[in-house]
Structures are given as structure tokens and as C-alpha cells.
């Protein structure tokens, strides 16, 4: 609220917040119609909003100390062809910039909410979700902006529809062909629960997390930045599509170990997978099975089994999907050596970002104390940076808070 007051010299009319997330297991399965098991975390993006005195929308990102002025929201297009004002300099909506995420959500809302098409908004964004760390700061921003703007306009939009609207904005404006998971958990998270999401049907089932006296989730930020829009994410998505064409299926959700063997490199089948296609498909098939098994183990309170599945997930992401990196591998290795840690794995798109661990409270305390120094001994980070390690908990999704 302070940032809004400083920028616009008045109080906002609505304030909304949306959380970041960590995915316990089920990585890169969402855009393959598979299963994921995320939790919303206690780091969030807060959005303050009011109607603008004119038809121009004024958006300020407090953490970046950056501002933009947007023309009429119903005139924004995903081809980045609209000139905008960025701190008095003429610029364009650059694909993948923070502006593209916020502008895309507002444009999509303006298309279905008449008051937003006719008026501009004054809006500030502030976030405690670390940027570029694989904790879905982008979806947190999108869902926060959408929740605040919908509340301002008096629009009633279901969390599922809100998540879909935000994902479409990320596809078209930010240029990231993401799945539904990040927006879904940001909109629909529940306190003390994970959310088992079937990304084909978009059905979601709450799965109770263990009590804090039994286990805690520890986030270990490598401080290595990644950019999903750089092409690695899209490349893997296309490889998965290519594997489906070879096997004659619509999605890797429909693949099985037997089908994978039938079309393996060197098999007698008329159509065979390349080694890379085979490895990518192998990860998706096994990861879907691990995710369903992990949800069942959580329901049964079998944390040792959950931890085993997390470690197997990381090994597959490292070896078959090849989205890990030395820094993430180090964090997982260091965590797994601590007594009381059930399991650990990278979380998020990969190529840097965060790893997570499921640990007893005592082991979680050790990770927070010991991981930064042990990590520093193996990896040189830019001056002033260190591994960021903290305990988080499963939280509620987006809400209007004032």
C-alpha cells in the first residue's frame, strides 16, 4: 500500500495477493496432460489497484522501481506492436518482460469485463516471491493482477477460469508455452494441503500435507537464474510432441512403458524414437507414475516413500529430461546427506532456480543453517549472493485482502 500511496498520492480501492509455489513432484508433466502435485507457499505478490483518472493505465513495479503507461486496455495486442511509455522513454511491450505479464492479463480481462475496456487503472505490484528462482513469480504476478482487477470491476470469475485466463496471457503476451499448474495453484491453493492436478481434465484433488511436527518443506535457492522464454522450455515441449507423432498418440499422457519399448531406438517398429525423444518420453511416463504414487503415499503418511520418489524424480530430470544443472544437483546431494531428510529434488522448469527437501523439523533447521556454507564451498556465486534457504508451508491461493 505504501508504494501505491507514494506513486499515486491516495489509497488503493482494492488490494489482492497471490502466492508463489513449489511443486513437490510432477515436473514438466503439466504441458503433457499429466499429473502435478504443487503447494502454494508463503511468499506472495501483492497488487494494489484503483481506477485511473483517465483512459491510460499506470502500472508501477515497486521491487524493480519501474513504471509503464499503457493505452486503452482493449487495444493491447500480443504482437508487441503497441508503443508504451516506460519511465518517459518510448518503448514496446517486450515479450517476456514483466510488462508483458501484467499487460497480457489486463488485456484478457478487458476483453470480457466491460468496465476494464472503458477505463484505465492505476496499479502497483510488490512481491516477496524471488524472481527467476523457479517459484513461479510470473504466475503469482498474473493471478495477483487478475484478482485485483476483477475485484475492482466487480467481476465474478471462478478460480479455474481466472487461471486459464492468466495462462493464455502468458502464452500470447509473454511467449512462454507453460502448462496450467502454476496459475492453478496460485488461484486455488489451500492451507496445509497440496493440490493433485490432472492437467488433462483440470480436475484437482486436495491432498493433506503432514503436520509441521512431522515434516517441513525446505526451499533451497541456487541463485542461478533461468529464463524459460530463452528456448529450452519450448524445445523440450516440441520434442515431446515429436515423440507423440512417432508413437501415434495425442499426448505423452497416453504413453506407456510398453509403447515406449515398442518404439525405442533400434526397435523393429516402422517408426522409432530418436535417443533424445526416447529419454524425454521416458521421464514423462515415469514422472506421472511417481506423482500419483507420491500423492497416495502422502495420504497414507508414508513420508519415506514420498522422499524416495522425490529423489527418483530428480535423477530422471537430471539424466533423461536434462533440465537440472550442477548447482541444483549439489543442493539435492547435500540435503539428502542430512539425517531426517526424507527426499529432495529440483522444482520448477530447471536450468537453475530452486531445489526442495521434505525433512523433519530438526533436519529442516540443519538445512537452513548448513546448506549455504556447504553450497558456497562448491560453487562460486556473484559477490554478495549466497544460497537462499528457508522453510515454507502450504498456503491458500489468491484472495482480495482489502
| Helices 137-153 & 98-110 angle (0-180, nearest 10) | 30
Phi, psi of 26 (to 5 degrees): 105, 65
Give the integer Cα–Cα distance in Å for 361 and 217: 9
- 3-state DSSP of 1-66: CHHHHHHHCCCCCEEEEEEEEEECCCCCCHHHCCEECEEEEEEEEEEEEEECCCCCEEEEECCCCE
Of the candidates 182, 254, 365, 396, the residue annotated as catalytic is 182
Among residues 18, 19, 21, 1, the alpha carbon closest in space to that of 10 is found at 1
Answer whether 145's CB lies under 8 Å from 106's CB. Answer: yes
Is residue 182 annotated as part of the catalytic site, yes or no?
A: yes
Question: Catalytic residue positions?
Answer: 182
Amino acid at each position: 500500500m505504501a508504494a501505491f500511496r507514494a506513486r499515486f498520492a491516495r489509497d488503493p480501492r482494492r488490494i489482492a495477493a497471490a502466492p508463489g509455489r513449489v511443486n513437490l513432484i510432477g515436473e514438466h508433466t503439466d504441458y503433457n496432460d499429466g499429473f502435478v502435485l504443487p503447494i502454494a507457499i508463503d511468499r506472495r505478490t501483492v497488487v494494489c489497484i484503483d481506477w485511473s483518472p483517465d483512459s491510460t493505465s499506470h502500472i508501477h513495479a515497486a521491487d524493480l522501481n519501474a513504471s509503464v503507461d499503457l493505452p486503452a486496455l482493449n487495444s493491447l495486442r500480443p504482437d508487441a506492436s503497441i508503443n508504451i511509455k516506460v519511465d518517459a522513454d518510448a518503448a514496446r511491450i517486450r515479450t517476456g518482460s514483466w510488462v508483458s505479464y501484467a499487460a497480457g492479463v489486463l488485456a484478457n480481462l478487458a476483453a470480457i469485463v466491460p468496465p476494464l475496456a472503458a477505463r484505465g487503472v492505476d496499479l502497483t505490484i510488490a512481491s516477496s516471491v524471488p524472481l527467476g528462482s523457479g517459484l513461479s513469480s510470473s504466475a503469482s504476478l498474473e493471478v495477483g493482477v487478475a484478482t485485483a482487477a476483477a475485484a475492482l470491476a466487480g467481476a465474478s470469475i471462478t478460480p479455474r477460469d481466472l487461471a486459464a485466463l492468466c495462462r493464455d496471457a502468458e502464452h500470447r503476451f509473454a511467449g512462454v508455452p507453460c502448462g496450467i499448474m502454476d496459475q492453478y495453484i496460485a488461484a486455488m491453493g489451500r492451507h496445509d494441503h497440496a493440490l493433485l492436478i490432472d492437467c488433462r481434465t483440470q480436475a484437482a484433488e486436495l491432498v493433506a500435507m503432514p503436520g509441521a511436527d512431522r515434516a517441513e518443506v525446505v526451499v533451497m535457492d541456487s541463485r542461478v537464474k533461468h529464463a524459460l522464454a530463452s528456448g529450452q522450455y519450448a524445445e523440450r515441449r516440441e520434442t515431446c510432441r515429436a515423440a507423440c507423432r512417432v508413437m501415434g498418440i495425442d499426448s505423452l499422457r497416453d504413453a506407456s512403458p510398453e509403447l515406449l519399448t515398442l518404439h525405442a531406438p533400434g526397435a523393429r517398429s516402422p517408426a522409432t524414437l530418436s535417443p533424445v525423444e526416447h529419454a524425454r518420453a521416458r521421464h514423462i511416463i515415469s514422472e506421472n507414475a511417481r506423482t500419483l504414487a507420491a500423492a497416495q503415499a502422502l495420504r497414507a503418511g508414508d513420508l519415506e516413500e514420498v522422499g524416495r520418489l522425490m529423489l527418483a524424480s530428480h535423477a530422471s530430470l537430471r539424466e533423461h529430461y536434462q533440465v537440472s544443472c550442477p548447482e541444483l544437483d549439489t543442493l539435492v546431494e547435500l540435503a539428502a546427506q542430512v539425517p531426517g531428510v526424507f527426499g529432495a529434488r529440483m522444482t520448477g522448469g530447471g536450468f537453475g532456480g530452486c531445489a526442495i527437501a521434505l525433512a523433519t523439523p530438526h533436519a529442516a533447521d540443519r538445512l537452513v543453517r548448513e546448506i549455504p556454507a556447504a553450497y558456497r564451498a562448491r560453487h562460486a556465486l556473484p559477490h554478495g549472493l549466497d544460497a537462499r534457504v528457508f522453510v515454507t508451508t502450504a498456503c491458500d491461493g489468491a484472495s482480495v485482502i482489502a
